[in-house]
Amino acid sequence: MRIRSSALVALITVTLTRPVHAQSIADRYRGDANRIIDAALKDSTAWNRLAEMTEKFGNRLSGTPALEQTIDWVIDRMKEDGLQNVRGERAMVPVWVRGDESAQMVKPRIQKLPMLGLGGSIATPPDGITADVLVVGSFSDLTAKAAQASGKIVLFDVPFSNYGETVQYRARGAVAAAKVGAVGALVRSVTPNSQRTPHTGGMSYDSTVRRIPAAAITVEDAEMIHRLVDRGERVRVKLTMSAKTLPDAPSRNVMGEIVGSEKPDEVVVFGGHIDSWDVGRGAMDDGGGVVVAWEAVRLLKRLGLKPKRTIRVVGWTNEENGGRGGQAYRDAHKGEVEKHVLAIESDGGVFKPQGFSFSGSDAALDLVKQIASLLDRIDAGTIVKGGAGADIGPIVALGVPGLGLNVDGTKYFWYHHTEADTIDKLDPNDMARCVATMAVMAFVAADMPDPLPRASTETR
């Protein structure tokens, strides 16, 4: 284990100060934390508000009126709630429109294939693409079968292992297939569980190879086609998509604040993304992330807990197909990034919370663990090292300590990017615990005497 000198200094500093700090932070805030938790657990407003928002407006893809109407509604409600500096900060977002689309197996028999085009895909010609299917089980399998790919639709039938790994086929499958001469790409939906449910999501092209249309089919049909081919059948599919990309359009990061009582220019920012894919109602991904942070702020206000620093709740726009909201936030707040003491994102569903992932210095990690210990009574106090969130990524990259809310993720990818991402999958008690978890972490970080120590430039 190699310890850099700066890290060693930090370590020594923390070790020397820890007893005093540990005592003071945990003890100082135990009473407030317990009040927050007790009040949160009695309240199902978060669930009700998320139900209302997602059912009033439906899904909220970048560029749609539904997204902007939702943002307007949030602004109105945040003002009613008495938040300060409520506003939408402009961000230009990509506009991808799905249009009509379908997939059908035409050989060895006619079978409609439930599908969703991947976000960013081009259209097929109006009459669709009809081609034989080449089934592959991995990128290396595609390489091995490259000679057979020309003129085919490549189907990536890759079982779910974990999201980060399996999503590569959704993101990069079209490029890999095009490189070996395929005319279309189909991916098995990225999920461990299916009820014949296609899952959409982003994909990207590459300037070195021609663009081919790409869509997700269901686990069931990917496996069926694979078995038909294994039985010696020739499988032929007709894919028809009319997707198009329009010029960028204006959207907004929506936000409101409790302005700090002593250090109003220092900021804890937290929230989720207000946009969603164009299926389901974006309850888990990620209306819930916005609503639990928002409810956390309302709860602090209701309890009269006024932190020394500013707490800012944000619904970032365009996480799903561009990440422009997070970038726009970084750019708009460039002058105050140094004053951001912590950024927290919830974008993994608002199921039963477990704690946070942390990106930042070891010294800050130590303090974050102390704060999190206040959440042990609801089993939400576990801190692990790792990523934080896509929307806060741009400012975390500039040195802002970042936390990502971790929840019981057992079922998250069952519904992720599908028509089934709806409020009924969420439990009001779990959401109330998420509110408590977000509120305790944000409040203590915003109120404690010293800001969380940042990583030195060298160790970032």
For residue 216, count CB atoms less than 10 angstroms from its CB and return exposed for 0-12, middle for 13-18, buried for 19 or more.
Answer: buried
51 binding a copy of itself? (CB under 8 A):
yes
- Mask for 154-193, x = binds a copy of itself (CB under 8 A): ----------------------------------------
CA distance 103 to 182: 17
CA distance 37 to 375: 8
HSE-up (13 A, CA, CB side) for residue 362: 14
224 binding a copy of itself? (CB under 8 A):
yes
**Closest CB to a copy of itself among residues 49, 454:** 49
121 binding a copy of itself? (CB under 8 A):
no
**Closest CB to a copy of itself among residues 118, 222:** 222
195 binding a copy of itself? (CB under 8 A):
yes
The one among 19, 42, 109, 161 contacting a copy of itself by CB under 8 A: 109
CA distances 133 to 38, 129, 221, Å, are 57, 11, 12
The one among 21, 58, 264, 397 contacting a copy of itself by CB under 8 A: 58
Tell me which stretch binds a copy of itself (CB under 8 A): 103-111, 253-261, 379-387, 389-397: 103-111
The one among 200, 361, 370, 418 contacting a copy of itself by CB under 8 A: 418
Tell the smallest beta-carbon distance from residue 186 to a copy of itself (Å).
17
The one among 29, 356, 412, 415 contacting a copy of itself by CB under 8 A: 415
379 binding a copy of itself? (CB under 8 A):
no
Q: 3-state class of 399 per DSSP?
A: coil
CA distance 278 to 64: 9
**Closest CB to a copy of itself among residues 31, 159:** 159
Q: 3-state class of 278 per DSSP?
A: coil
424 binding a copy of itself? (CB under 8 A):
yes
Catalytic residue, from 101, 319, 320, 345: name it: 319
219 binding a copy of itself? (CB under 8 A):
yes
Q: Is 319 a catalytic residue?
A: yes
For residue 1, count CB atoms less than 10 angstroms from its CB and return exposed for 0-12, middle for 13-18, buried for 19 or more.
Answer: exposed
For residue 161, count CB atoms less than 10 angstroms from its CB and return exposed for 0-12, middle for 13-18, buried for 19 or more.
Answer: exposed
Residue whose C-alpha is closest to residue 345's, from 325, 331, 364? 325
Q: How many residues bind a copy of itself (CB under 8 A)?
A: 31
Helices 428-447, 362-372: inter-axial angle, 10-degree rounding: 130
CA distance 311 to 325: 19
55 binding a copy of itself? (CB under 8 A):
yes
CA distance 221 to 358: 39
Tell the smallest beta-carbon distance from residue 224 to a copy of itself (Å).
5
User: Which of the residues are catalytic?
Assistant: 319
Which residues bind to a copy of itself, rule: CB under 8 A?
51-52, 55-58, 108-109, 111, 114, 194-197, 219-220, 223-224, 227-228, 231, 280-281, 414-415, 418-420, 422-424
